[in-house]
Amino acid sequence: MNDYFLPSEKTVERIDELCVRLFELWCEERKLVPLAYLLHCWPLTGHDTVVVKRLADAMSDLCQFQAAKLSARESTLVREIIGNAREIIGEPLPRGATAANGAGIMWARVRLAKAAGQVPAFAAADFLDGPL
C-alpha cells in the first residue's frame, strides 16, 4: 500500500474509534436521539469520501438540532469526528458551522420558505437521505 493512503486510513480508524466510544456511551445512558443520528451512518461501510461525508453531515446536524441532548464530553467527541471527517474529504469547516450540504440546510430552507409563504424548490423525497 502506498504511504499516501496511510494518513487517511489512520484518520478513518480514529473516526471509527470515536464512534465506538459514542455508541457505547449513548447505549449505556440510553440516549436514543443521538444514537439514531449515529446509527444512520455508522458503522462505516468503506473509506470513501461519500461515506465519511455522510457521517460528518449527520454529526453536524446532531450538533445543530439536538445540542441540548449532548453533554460537553459528547459534544467534544462529535466535533472531533466532524473535524477528522472534513480533513479526509478536504472540506474546511469553520468553527461552529454546520454541514453545507446536509439535510439541515434543506430543513432551514423549508422553514424559511414556509415563513415567507413560498413553496420549497425540492420534494419531500430529498429528505430521505437526511440524518433521520
- The CA distance from 35 to 32, in Å, is 5
- Could you tell me the sign of the dihedral formed by the alpha carbons of 90, 41, 33, 132, in that order? positive
Nearest Cα neighbor of 105 from 34, 57, 71, 69 is 57
The pLDDT tens digits along the chain (132 residues) read 444 455 678 888 999 999 999 999 999 999 999 999 999 999 988 778 889 999 999 999 999 999 999 999 999 999 999 999 988 888 665 555 444 444 455 555 556 666 666 655 554 444 444 444
Domain ranges of the chain: 3-129
